[in-house]
């Protein structure tokens, strides 16, 4: 198995000289999936050293994982000696990690906890409220000061939705989504609530901390944060001698909280969003859950921004306007190889020779709704991917779908208004001999991008939604459809799930308009029941759709089977709670065609396996393309995971279950 790509969404970051060589290192807590852990969201630590500086900005080596630590909060603090230490939150304990490497390496070890919160101390929190981040307001690693604590109440639990599973049972997915909004499109469900608390340091001799107490604003009310990420940037931004705060919100923005209190008694006022130089609200397009950290690059103050989208950004501080900071246009920092540092998640790979080199490139949909292309600079036998770029259409705009482009929210509501979760597929939909692009998104729409280029340079026209009977086709969210000539008539069909999660083969309905399609042929099991590929009945939470489809002759009998990148815990007849107690990882299943390609019937084939065990490729779900990658006459599997990695399994590295007859 050969992984390449990035490390996934960032949950926290710290930049400091941890190894004492005079150059800072970047440490991130990243939501990565590991087969021995149950959830993709469990964080792990990654470190990236600086390879060089370009135009006053760092270029990082590719990050690598170290240790088995799982902190969800990071802060760099100086102490005795030349090496910075990491302040981390692990469970209920706040502690420092120290780098004990003898050379310029990174070997963090646990130090003693400076505080471990008891049930009594946590009783001040609201019901279901949990600590997500801690920051030292002042002091250092040897004499810590007061702790600033960020908490949240998750507003996206199943009981926060306005309807019950019984009320939506059997409804098509668009109707399920509609019940989460009022007639004016306002979100009816819960929203995550975040607050600030203080835990004051005791005497310098004992190092004890006092009780947790709410941080208050100028009117004596608890400081409420707009939901984003719990990471807070702390710095004296206005030069008045106290510590102001910057935090990210859920709409790719940053908010400024000014300290208007007195020494030792801070009081923070929400002054609103940071501004861009033109006076508009600052936006980091394509990113969300920003993680701000105050830095100086090239002797200029600025903000280093991690993000839930996986990118690492930097923007300069340009002054103040109307009482809030003004920041420059965000720049994506780079890593060696020329690509940006970080990767978006939920990759849906499809391999094809887009540029006429004889080697397969990879096109992916992803979390942010973009279409990414990994260009293969090597050969079929020795592929080499040094960069990733956004595909653009012929108007020069990034190819992108989802709420960010449409102005509508998906079933998760405003928290994902910068997402898209696109599923990409390539095929000759127009019959002109070129590979067109089709992408589904998290609104349940599927868009078509005509390739008007040539064999050595694709050119995709701006996308248009597929339409059925005069209306935009509505399906389940986050699926990856598949373009394939299934019946062998020389024309491409679209294999996709409908609004009920049932597999259908759609065909063009109008030879003059490639976006007009028919009602689709329902695919069935051999017992005549619809072939359901999303694993769960429509539910008031978002556990529908999500499956990634691929049609291929897996068993070599001349008939096209269906491979499915399967969601965590998917079981067709169970409730979500019951199914999540079963197999809890993204995996790959297949459905064997026991009919013909012209009249297919399908039998559940079971798992695809690696080393005898079901393939594990992600915490939510994975995406799969079976293709003869190296031109050896055998199929390989390309897997995309929710944490932004791509993997290749050679033909001798996987097997598949053989289904027994009914």
Exposed / middle / buried, residue 628 (Cβ in 10 Å: 0-12, 13-18, 19+)? middle
Percent of the chain at pLDDT exceeding 90: 49
Q: What is the pLDDT of residue 396?
A: 96
DSSP per-residue codes, 274-330: -B-TTSSBP--TT--S-EEEEEEETTEEEEEEE-TTS--EEEEEEEEETTEEEE---
* pLDDT at position 158 over 70: no
* pLDDT at position 205 over 70: no
Is residue 34 classed as helix, strand or coil in its secondary structure? coil
Give the pLDDT mean for 151-172.
74
Q: What is the pLDDT of residue 499?
A: 94
Residue 230 has what DSSP assignment? S
Confidence of residue 337 (pLDDT cuts 50, 70, 90): low
Q: What is the pLDDT of residue 340?
A: 63
Confidence of residue 188 (pLDDT cuts 50, 70, 90): confident
| Domains of the chain, first to last | 10-155+191-336 (2.115.10.20), 348-655 (2.115.10)
Q: Please choose, from the candidates 52, 56, 54, 34, the residue with its C-alpha nearest in 3D space to the C-alpha of residue 43.
A: 34
Is residue 651 classed as helix, strand or coil in its secondary structure? helix
CB atoms within 10 A of CB 374: 23
Cα separation, 347 vs 534, in Å, equals 18
* Tokens matching residue 268: 């923070």
In SS3 terms, 320-361 reads as EECCEEEECCCEECEECCCCECCCCCCCEEEEECCCCCCCCE
CA distances to 217, 223, 224, 595, 599 from 196, rounded to whole Å, are 10, 6, 7, 61, 61
Q: Are 213 and 223 in contact (CB under 8 A)?
A: no
* Tokens matching residue 426: 């390539």
Place of tokens 């390989």: 636
Give the pLDDT mean for 345-369.
93
Of 38-52, 322-336, 507-521, 643-657, least confident by mean pLDDT is 38-52
Give the pLDDT mean for 302-331.
91
Of 235-239, 440-444, 549-553, least confident by mean pLDDT is 235-239
Q: What is the pLDDT of residue 2?
A: 31
Q: Please choose, from the candidates 75, 208, 97, the residue with its C-alpha nearest in 3D space to the C-alpha of residue 145.
A: 208
Give pLDDT tens digits for 219-256: 889 998 876 666 788 998 888 888 999 998 766 789 99
Give the pLDDT mean for 314-337.
91
The residues that bridge with 389 in the sheet, in sequence order, are: 373
Is residue 239 classed as helix, strand or coil in its secondary structure? coil
Confidence of residue 156 (pLDDT cuts 50, 70, 90): low
| Distance from chain centroid for Cα 401 | 15
Cα separation, 296 vs 324, in Å, equals 19
Cα separation, 89 vs 132, in Å, equals 8
Place of tokens 């609530």: 193
Most confident of 130-134, 221-225, 492-496: 492-496
Angle at 190 between CA 184 and CA 191, to 5 degrees: 95
Give the pLDDT mean for 3-21.
74
CA distances to 144, 235, 505 from 201, rounded to whole Å, are 7, 19, 65
Top-confidence residue, 337 or 597: 597
Q: What is the pLDDT of residue 275?
A: 96
pTM over 0.75: yes
Confidence of residue 541 (pLDDT cuts 50, 70, 90): low
* pLDDT at position 37 over 50: no
Q: What is the pLDDT of residue 35?
A: 42
Rounded to the nearest integer, the mean pLDDT of the chain is 85
In SS3 terms, 61-117 reads as CCCEECCCCCCCCEEEECCCCCCCEEEEEECCEEEEEEECCCCCCCCEEEEEEEEEC
CA atoms within 13 A on the CB side of 96: 21
Q: Please choose, from the candidates 274, 262, 358, the residue with its C-alpha nearest in 3D space to the C-alpha of residue 321.
A: 274
Is residue 235 classed as helix, strand or coil in its secondary structure? strand
Q: How many residues would you count in the chain? A: 662
Give pLDDT tens digits for 47-83: 889 999 999 999 998 888 776 566 678 888 887 777 8
Q: Are 305 and 285 in contact (CB under 8 A)?
A: no
């Amino acid at each position: 198995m050969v992984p390449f790509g990035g490390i996934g969404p960032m949950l926290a970051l710290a930049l400091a000289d941890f190894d004492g060589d005079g150059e800072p290192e970047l440490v991130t807590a990243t939501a990565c999936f590991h087969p021995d852990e149950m959830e993709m969201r469990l964080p792990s630590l990654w470190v990236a050293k600086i390879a060089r500086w370009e135009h006053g900005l760092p270029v990082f080596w590719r990050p690598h994982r170290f240790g088995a630590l799982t902190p969800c909060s990071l802060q760099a603090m100086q102490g005795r000696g030349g090496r910075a230490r990491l302040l981390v939150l692990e469970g209920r304990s706040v502690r420092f990690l120290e780098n004990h490497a003898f050379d310029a390496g990174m070997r963090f070890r646990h130090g003693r906890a400076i505080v471990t919160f008891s049930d009594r101390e946590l009783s001040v929190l609201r019901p279901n409220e949990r600590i997500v981040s801690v920051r030292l307001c002042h002091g250092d690693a040897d004499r810590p000061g007061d702790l600033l604590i960020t908490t949240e109440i998750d507003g996206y639990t199943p009981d926060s939705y306005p309807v019950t599973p019984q009320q939506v049972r059997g409804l098509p997915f668009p109707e399920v989504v509609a019940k989460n909004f009022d007639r004016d499109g306002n979100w009816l469900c819960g929203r995550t609530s975040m607050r600030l608390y203080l835990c004051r340091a005791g005497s310098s001799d004992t190092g004890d901390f006092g009780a947790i107490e709410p941080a208050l604003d100028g009117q004596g009310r608890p400081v409420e944060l707009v939901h984003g990420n719990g990471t807070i940037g702390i710095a004296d931004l206005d030069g008045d001698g106290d510590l102001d705060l910057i935090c990210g919100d859920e709409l790719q923005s940053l908010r400024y909280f000014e300290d208007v209190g007195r020494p030792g008694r801070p009081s923070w006022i929400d002054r609103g969003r940071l501004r861009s130089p033109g006076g508009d609200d600052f936006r980091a397009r394509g990113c969300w859950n920003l993680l701000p950290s105050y830095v100086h690059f090239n002797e200029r103050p600025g903000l280093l921004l991690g993000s839930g989208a996986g990118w690492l950004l930097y923007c300069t501080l340009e002054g103040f306007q109307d009482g809030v900071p003004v920041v420059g246009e965000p720049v994506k920092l780079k890593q060696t190889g020329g690509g940006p540092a970080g990767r978006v998640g939920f990759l849906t790979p499809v391999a094809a020779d887009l540029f006429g080199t004889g080697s397969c490139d990879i096109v992916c949909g992803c979390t942010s709704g973009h279409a990414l292309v990994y260009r293969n600079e090597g050969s079929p036998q020795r592929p080499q991917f040094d960069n990733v770029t956004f595909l653009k259409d012929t108007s020069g705009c990034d190819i992108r779908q989802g709420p960010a482009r449409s102005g509508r929210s998906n079933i998760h509501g405003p928290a994902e208004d910068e997402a898209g979760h696109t599923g990409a597929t390539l095929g000759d939909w127009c019959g002109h001999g070129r590979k067109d692009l089709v992408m589904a998104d998290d609104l349940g729409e599927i868009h078509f991008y005509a390739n008007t280029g040539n064999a050595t340079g694709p050119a995709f026209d701006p996308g248009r939604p597929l339409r059925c009977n005069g209306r935009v086709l509505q399906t389940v969210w986050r699926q990856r459809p598949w373009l394939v000539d299934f019946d062998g008539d020389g024309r491409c069909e679209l294999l996709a799930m409908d609004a009920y999660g049932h597999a259908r083969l759609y065909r063009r309905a109008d030879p003059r308009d490639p976006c007009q399609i028919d009602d689709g042929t329902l695919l069935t099991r051999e017992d005549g029941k619809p072939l359901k590929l999303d694993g769960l009945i429509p539910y008031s939470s978002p556990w529908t759709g999500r499956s990634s489809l691929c049609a291929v002759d897996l068993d070599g009998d001349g008939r096209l089977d269906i491979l499915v990148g399967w969601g965590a815990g998917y079981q067709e007849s169970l409730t979500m709670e019951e199914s999540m107690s079963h197999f809890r990882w993204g995996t790959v299943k297949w459905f064997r065609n026991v009919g013909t390609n012209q009249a297919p019937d399908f039998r559940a084939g079971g798992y695809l396996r690696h080393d005898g065990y079901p393939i594990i490729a992600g915490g939510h779900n994975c995406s799969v393309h079976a293709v003869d990658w190296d031109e050896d006459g055998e199929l390989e599997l390309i897997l995309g995971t929710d944490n932004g990695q791509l993997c290749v399994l050679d033909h001798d590295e996987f097997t598949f279950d053989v289904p027994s007859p009914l």
